[in-house]
Amino acid sequence: MHKPNKPATQGDVAKTAGVSTATVSRVINTPDSVRMPVRKKVLNAINELQYVADAAARALASKRSRCIGAVIPTLANAIFADGIESFETQLNEAGLSLMLASSSYDAQNELAQVRTLIERGVDAIMLVGLERDVSIYALLLQREIPYVLTWAYNKHCCHPCVGFDNYAAAKLIPSHLVGLGHHKFAAISGITKGNDRALARLKGMKNSLTEHGITLADEAIIQCNYTIEEGRAACRALLNSDQPPTAILCSNDVLATGALLECQACGIEVPRQVSIAGFDDLPISANLTPSLTTVHIPFKLMGQKAAQYLIDRLAGNKPDPRQELDVELRLRNSTGAPLIAKLG
């Protein structure tokens, strides 16, 4: 076998493109600062020579890794997919890359992942939710690493956040269903321990019903993992209880999908016999039969704005540290008036 050619250097790229090494460096690090004709010549040379920039050398020279870290609760839940994809796309457009980690909804694991990202030299970090081990903030502030919290918003939050008010959003569907005539409610919630978003949504559901004079009893609430299988099991238990509900509130669309499938498997008509509502508005939700009533969250916009916040911070700017996004109630075919109200 022949020994492969030595990797091309920036000098090789500069010679092939007929420019200086400084111009090659600008094309790689700040492409917008180079005129398009020159940029194309350099990019063509990079492709021709299969040049790959030495990230370690770049980081040493600029004191920047051009890599952004993100820690999300899990890689197994579709609710994070669109937001993270949009976040990464926005970073890529600014010449930054993403290093992703998951915490498994464990506070100490999140702390360990943040430590690892800092050790890897990330320039900034995105986190999910408002509550965590305060040691994380101490680490970030000590090293002057910009960060932003996502998937949640509180106007009184002392940390930069880009997201939505989970509590307020969760109050929308109960109010609508009460208006349709429902009085017998149950809830399938994500596990609230270590998850401030799930806790806020459950509180929003309960308090919305309380405001209408309806108590959501503890036995009518089941907390479980965000899977279709656990959503089905929770729905089965609620339907077999002494006081079966006419409306089931789910804290995300994965659980609501499980509840809908369980009703169909048991021959229970939705929404004629039971109304089911979700939260998040996943792409599948509008395509279920019946389509799922849910709360639409602008995940893509959230990811874009969170990335832009960090990009602006790294550029030395001072963007708005608290950005609230609007949510929207999406009424579809999985909810309707209860059978008793229809017969009455």
- Name the segment(s) of the chain with CATH classification 1.10.260.40: 10-53
Distance of alpha carbon 299 from alpha carbon 282, whole angstroms? 10
Residue 57 scores a pLDDT above 80:
no
CB distance 209 to 215 below 8 Å? yes
pLDDT band at 64 (very low <50, low <70, confident <90, very high): low
pTM: 0.81
Q: In the CATH scheme, what is the code of domain 167-297+330-343?
A: 3.40.50.2300
10 falls in which pLDDT band (50, 70, 90)? confident
> Would you tell me which CATH number, out of the four given (3.40.120.10, 3.40.50.2300, 3.50.50.60, 3.10.310.10), belongs to the domain 66-165+298-327?
3.40.50.2300
How does the average pLDDT of the chain come out, rounded?
A: 92
Of all residues in the chain, the percent with pLDDT exceeding 70 is 93
342 pLDDT more than 70: no
Contact 184, 247 (CB under 8 A): yes
Please count the residues of the chain. Answer: 344
Written as one string, the DSSP assignment of 70-93 is EEES-SS-GGGHHHHHHHHHHHHH
pLDDT digits (tens, 9 = 90+) for 228-259: 999 999 999 999 999 999 999 999 999 999 99
CA distance 33 to 181: 62
Of the chain, the percentage scoring pLDDT greater than 90 comes to 81
Q: Does the domain made of 10-53 have the CATH classification 1.10.260.40?
A: yes
What pLDDT, on the 0 to 100 scale, is given for residue 293? 98
pLDDT at position 47 is 84
What pLDDT digit, counting tens, does each position of 149-163 carry? Answer: 999 999 999 999 999
Portions of the chain given CATH number 3.40.50.2300: 66-165+298-327, 167-297+330-343
Top mean pLDDT of 8-12, 78-82, 102-106 is at: 102-106
pLDDT for position 56: 47
* 280 phi-psi bin (left φ>0, alpha ψ -120 to 50, beta other): left
Task: Report residue 344's pLDDT band, with 50, 70 and 90 as the boundaries.
Answer: very low
